[in-house]
Amino acid sequence: MAFLVLTNSDMRALVDEKGANCVSLTDSRLSASVLRPLIEGETPENPFLHGSPVLMPQNRIEGGAFDYDGRRYTFPLNEPTTNCHIHGEVYDKTFRVVEKDDTYCVLSLFLPEREGFLHDREVVIRYDLTPSSLRRTATVKNLSVLDMPLSFGYHTTFNVPFCDGSDKESVFLSASVGAEIKRDSRFLPTGKHGFGSVEKSINAGTFPALSRKISKHYRAINDTVTLTDTRRRVKVEYVCDEKLPYRLFYNGNADEYICLEPISCRVNCYGEKGRDEAGFLTVPARGEVKFTDEIIVKEY
């Protein structure tokens, strides 16, 4: 199945119908390849480290289950080493193309109710390519007569460096974040927080994106995370709406990419105590929730 192609005078995006994943974003004027691409026909060892896969539900659910409104919600334990469900039920499903033009596309996925999730759902993803950005709107529709719990996010992976003729030492990460949400060996929050040299450097915009291996979880203070190439003087701004207020930053072996993951709630926020304060969302019966994010590429 060929990727959907969106183009304008300078920018080009490729969208995979599998997962409605934007698997490549380039700017020819700035010689930038922003997202870590997926090659057509490739089956990567880790599908979450290419493009910007949709996570619904996001990240990890301890034991693959939680209770809501008197009902038990269950998901497969697809990460046996941590006894968790991870990254949801959408990223590997094939979406239907609803609309397509040169600079935009709309894709839809219907998810029927099942044992352990008694809601029909529809997920609609729209991509709009502008002269300097890729804008995405996700609409999650609850088609059932019951209120529906929801968590949502993206595993967005950026190239480092993202411009031709640059190097990884020239790319810096900037974000306004609070204290790190500490996690245990299963990558689940411990209830502890910390604010150290890495957090100070990220907030100051002086953290070299691949200077060391990181796997960090934060509550964001504003809506923008920025990668700045000081050699090529190009910025990539990743802007997300207020319903995606948490972040996960992960850079693997600190050699070629960094994941800047916007998510709707704290990791494993599904427990009964304090989950509303941690971003747990509810979609009312027959209602919907929209999420927007935008990747902006510009000189400075």
| pLDDT tens profile 192-244 | 999 999 999 999 999 999 999 999 999 999 999 999 999 999 999 999 999 99
Pick the closest to residue 160 from 291, 4, 32 (CA basis): 32
Residues 6+ apart with CB under 8 A from 31: 163, 164, 165, 232
Residue 2 has pLDDT above 90, yes or no: no
**pLDDT band at 272; cut points 50, 70, 90:** low
Cβ atoms of 122 and 143 within 8 Å: the answer is yes
CA distance 88 to 90: 6
Q: pLDDT digit string (tens) for 235-260?
A: 999 999 999 999 999 999 999 999 99
What amino acid is encoded at 29 in this protein?
R
CA distance 169 to 256: 11
C-alpha distances (whole Å) from 300 to each of 9, 36, 196, 201, 232 are 20, 22, 29, 21, 9
> What's the DSSP call for residue 114?
B
**pLDDT band at 1; cut points 50, 70, 90:** low
Q: What is the pLDDT of residue 285?
A: 98
Task: Tell me the whole-structure pTM to 2 decimals.
Answer: 0.96
The secondary structure element, H or E, covering residue 201 is helix 197-204
> What's the DSSP call for residue 206?
-
Per-residue tokens: 12: 């080009």
Q: Where are the domains of the chain?
A: 4-299
- Residue 99 bridge partners (DSSP): 106
Instruction: Specify burial of residue 7 (Cβ count, 10 A radius: 0-12, 13-18, 19+).
Output: middle
Reduce the DSSP state of residue 44 to 3 states and report it.
coil
4-299 has which CATH code? 2.70.98.10
Cβ atoms of 6 and 12 within 8 Å: the answer is yes
